[in-house]
């Protein structure tokens, strides 16, 4: 999915952090959007709701600036933010 440029440009990604990076988050969004990928959506969302996941993104948006493929990484991360909020509410209220 990514050439690695977004990882090297991300100030939150690296040996100093557990953050999985923007490319991995975009891959989660892609899998969640696929009809067969929806079966494991909750499991993927729970994985990125923890340490090193979506909340560790500092929204520097360097990933978008350097991506040679013009992948809308911040859009994907924003959509995942919405999905994780919905999942947290489902978990809280048993939905």
Q: Which two tokens stand for residue 26?
A: 């975009």
Kindly report, residue by residue over 60-83, the tens digit of the pLDDT.
888 888 888 888 888 899 999 999
Cβ-Cβ contacts under 8 Å for 10 (sequence gap 6 or more): 19, 21, 22, 60, 62, 63
Q: Where are the domains of the chain?
A: 5-93
Distance CA 52, CA 22 (A): 11
pTM: predicted TM-score of the whole model, two decimal places: 0.84
7 to each of 17, 58, 74, 82, how far by Cα in Å?
Answer: 12, 13, 13, 23
Q: For residue 69, what pLDDT is reported? A: 83
Superfamily for domain range 5-93: Alpha-helical ferredoxin (1.10.1060.10)
Evaluate the CA torsion angle 42, 46, 58, 86 in order and state its sign. positive
Summarize pLDDT for 33-43 with one digit per residue, the tens: 999 988 999 99
Better-predicted residue by pLDDT, 16 or 95: 16
Q: Which helix (H) or strand (E) holds 92?
A: helix 73-93
């Amino acid at each position: 999915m990514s050439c690695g440029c977004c990882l090297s440009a991300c100030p939150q990604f690296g040996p100093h952090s557990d953050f999985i990076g923007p490319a991995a988050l975009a891959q989660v969004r892609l899998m969640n959007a696929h009809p067969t990928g929806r079966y494991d959506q909750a499991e993927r969302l729970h994985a990125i709701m923890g340490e090193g996941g979506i909340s560790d993104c500092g929204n520097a948006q360097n990933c978008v600036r350097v991506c040679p493929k013009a992948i809308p990484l911040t859009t994907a991360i924003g959509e995942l933010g919405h999905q994780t909020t919905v999942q947290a509410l489902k978990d809280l209220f048993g939905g």
